[in-house]
């Protein structure tokens, strides 16, 4: 059984775990997760049936596929902490904005197969786009696994790092902007007294 780890169970980590388990892509028993305080990991475990661990190192050591779901400035520190625990054939998936594949490769200091993914909160509704950028060493089977996971909770779109920022503006910020505008239109109607909430 492929074992999955999640380091970071904030908005995005929780969303991915919830969606992967809810859609049946990954069995809860195959997932372990950790967070800085431990509190959010425990809450996600209670909600989804995954295993919460107290230590990032324990999650890393038990994972064949490891998702890094921490803020960009935390990524290097977390990799430094877990580097010696990573399995030699680990598939490392970072969802952090602004952390390049070159950085990930340098910080892991190995031939770890790395992938960058920029998911969108719209995956919570099984829709929207997850952007995928492959690292140099990924295997064809890694691509099948990753595309299958993210196509189950939306649409996975392969791109390159040069295009990632502009694509992110379209797929993540775009839906948020439209949602904010729609919300404001609704509030304006309520303010006008035409309709009550």
Ligand X SMILES: NC(=O)c1ccc[n+]([C@@H]2O[C@H](COP(=O)([O-])OP(=O)(O)OC[C@H]3O[C@@H](n4cnc5c(N)ncnc54)[C@H](OP(=O)(O)O)[C@@H]3O)[C@@H](O)[C@H]2O)c1
Site residues, ligand X (CB under 6 A)? 7-13, 34-37, 39-40, 56, 69-72, 74, 77-78, 95-97, 118-119, 121, 172
Question: With respect to ligand X, which residue has the nearer C-beta, 80 or 111?
Answer: 80
Q: Whole-angstrom Cα distance, residue 134 to residue 91?
A: 11
Question: With respect to ligand X, which residue has the nearer C-beta, 2 or 169?
Answer: 169
- To the nearest whole angstrom, how small is the minimum distance from the Cβ of residue 138 to ligand X? 19
Question: With respect to ligand X, which residue has the nearer C-beta, 26 or 117?
Answer: 117
| Residue from 141, 119, 1 nearest 67 by CA | 119
Q: Whole-angstrom Cα distance, residue 120 to residue 81?
A: 27
| Residue from 107, 62, 110 nearest 53 by CA | 62
Question: With respect to ligand X, which residue has the nearer C-beta, 10 or 174?
Answer: 10
- To the nearest whole angstrom, how small is the minimum distance from the Cβ of residue 68 to ligand X? 8
- To the nearest whole angstrom, how small is the minimum distance from the Cβ of residue 15 to ligand X? 8
- To the nearest whole angstrom, how small is the minimum distance from the Cβ of residue 197 to ligand X? 26
CB 68 within 8 A of CB 119: no
Question: With respect to ligand X, which residue has the nearer C-beta, 111 or 169?
Answer: 169
| Distance in angstroms between the alpha carbons of the first and the last residue of the chain | 49
Residue nearest to ligand X (CB): 10
- To the nearest whole angstrom, how small is the minimum distance from the Cβ of residue 194 to ligand X? 33
In three-state secondary structure terms, 32 is: strand
| Residue from 10, 75, 15 nearest 40 by CA | 10
């Amino acid at each position: 059984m492929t074992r999955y780890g999640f380091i970071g169970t904030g908005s995005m980590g929780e969303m991915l775990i919830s969606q992967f388990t809810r859609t049946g892509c990954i069995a809860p028993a195959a997932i372990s997760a950790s967070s800085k305080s431990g509190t959010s990991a425990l809450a996600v475990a209670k909600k989804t049936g995954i295993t919460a661990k107290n230590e990032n190192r324990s999650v890393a050591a038990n994972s064949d596929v490891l998702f890094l779901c921490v803020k960009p400035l935390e990524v290097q520190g977390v990799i430094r902490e877990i580097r010696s625990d990573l399995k030699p054939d680990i598939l490392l998936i970072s969802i952090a904005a602004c952390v390049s594949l070159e950085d990930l490769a340098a910080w892991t200091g190995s031939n770890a197969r790395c992938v960058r993914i920029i998911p969108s909160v719209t995956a919570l509704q099984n829709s929207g786009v997850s952007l995928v950028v492959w690292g140099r060493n990924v295997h064809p089977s890694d691509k099948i696994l990753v595309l299958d996971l993210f196509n189950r909770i939306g649409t996975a779109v392969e791109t390159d790092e040069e295009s990632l920022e502009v694509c992110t503006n379209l797929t993540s910020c775009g839906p948020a902007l439209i949602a904010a505008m729609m919300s404001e239109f609704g509030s304006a109607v309520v303010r006008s007294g035409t309709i009550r909430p």
